[in-house]
Amino acid sequence: MYMKKRARVDKKQLERFDFEPLRAIRKNVNEKPELENSLRTDFEGTLKAEGVEVDDAFLTKVKDEWRAQISKDIREKVSVAPERYPLLVRVLGRKPIRVHVKVDENGRRVKTKEVSG
């Protein structure tokens, strides 16, 4: 059985995800709470009703946007405490991750990663 994390996520804390095709509907949700209930019951239908065409282009666009924001989140997290994320420091610095492998007489393998920037 896995541990769980229960959380309430307020839409305000996700405003950093721009989702450009949804800017208008997002503004409307803030002004009309019933729209949020409508989204809960029929997400895609409500989007269409609000003039958002949910097609491949839309999906590609929002995927690109969430990926970009997640990537930005990760960079910000690393920039705050780079010493805690040495591998990401190397990846973001376009350096390869160097793993030193040592195999002892009994075949046991010890792997250490280079953490210098």
Within 13 Å of residue 117, how many CA atoms lie on the same side as its CB? 8
Measure Cα distances from 68 to 10, 16, 23 in Å.
20, 11, 17
Question: Rounded to an integer, what distance in angstroms lies between the CA atom of residue 117 and that of residue 100?
Answer: 16
For residue 12, count other CB atoms closer than 10 A to its CB. Answer: 8
> In the complex, what is the shortest distance from the CB of residue 99 to other proteins, in angstroms, rounded to a whole number?
5
Stated length of the chain: 117
Closer residue to other proteins, CB minimum distance, 5 or 116: 5
Q: Counting contacts by CB under 8 A, is residue 88 touching other proteins?
A: yes
Binding residue for other proteins (CB under 8 A) from 2, 51, 55, 56?
Answer: 2
Interface residues toward other proteins, by CB under 8 A: 2-11, 13-15, 17, 19, 22, 25-26, 29, 36, 39-40, 43, 62, 66, 69-71, 73-75, 77, 84-88, 91-92, 94, 96-103, 109, 111, 113-114
